[in-house]
Amino acid sequence: MNKLFIQDVTLRDGMHAIRHQYGIDSVIRIARALDEAGVDAIEVAHGDGLAGSSFNYGFGAHTDWEWLEAVASVLERARLTTLLLPGIGTKVELRRAYDLGVRSVRIATHCTEADIAAQHIAVAREMGMDTVGFLMMSHMIEPDALAAQAKLMESYGAQCVYVVDSCGALDMEGTRARFEAFDRVLQPTTQRGMHAHHNLSLGVANSIVAAQHGATRIDASLAGMGAGAGNAPLEVFIAAIDRKGWPHGTDLFKLMDAAEDLVRPLQDRPVRVDRETLSLGYAGVYSSFLRHAESAAQRFGVDVRSILVELGARRMVGGQEDMIVDVALDLVRRRDERQAARN
């Protein structure tokens, strides 16, 4: 096993866990700790990527530029990375991020919409950035169909393409099948990556399986800080692969300390597998829907699990957060109709 490229997403996916409310002091402390612990890259942005701060996705406590400037000021070795979703972020934001020191970007699309990434991937490559294709909701289509989308991203210039288990719905067999499909169509020089969520408690296992089947880049976060039940917990993943003797270049104890001392105290809702986050993985629902669905459930007096299962049945995807209230209202209407019929 060659050394894995460890990408931390505490300061991007982790935004979802606290409604994008990281303070600058916390961002600086976490980034410095990650850098000193030896991670290869640190991703920084609103949870929905550059320019994600909005009514639909949630307003951030700070701008992307303030967060990026703060992290750039303390990094000694880790690569400063960001995320961009075409249709939310634009080439303008990408160029501004580059000016602030970002040298790697993940261009994220729904797993069937790689074609909308062509412009952004091309611009990133023109600027000399490490450019990654990020296929979200990768469980929703069959492995060969996902590989065809990865091939499109490769053809646009992506140097690495990710299997992104946004819902934490994949198991180990499904993870393996997707990387085997990648092998059938991608060039050997195109790197593969894995972004796992932990809603079925399989984030670490899926990340290990991905590495065993060609993934060289692995995403994880301190204390699993991320949407839903969180991402693969970084310190747990490192402990597991360290026991296997795999090279990773990080300091496990420093990661443990950062997770316990810097990240867990910020969680206003524990990042864990519980009845709500388990429902995300069970129903195959986008992990960042959790906090929105919980708000809607409280507002309209319905079980959040019912909202999540209905969202899964309707195959809602990232970007359709506005539909969560519609689903809650539909459930209220059905409940009222049943009560009226009984009366």
Could you list the active site residues? 16
Residue 96 CB: number of other CB atoms within 10 A?
Answer: 17
Q: Exposed (0-12), middle (13-18) or buried (19+): which is 130, by Cβ within 10 Å?
A: middle
Segments in 39-171 forming alpha helices (H)? 64-72, 91-99, 118-126, 143-156
Task: Give the whole-angstrom CA distance, residue 284 versus residue 317.
Answer: 10
Show the CA angle centred on residue 6, arms to residues 279 and 166, nearest 5°: 20
Helix, coil or strand: residue 52 = coil
**Sequential DSSP letters for 132-159:** EEEEESGGGS-HHHHHHHHHHHHHHT-S
Residue 136 CB: number of other CB atoms within 10 A?
Answer: 22
Task: Give the whole-angstrom CA distance, residue 137 versus residue 143.
Answer: 12
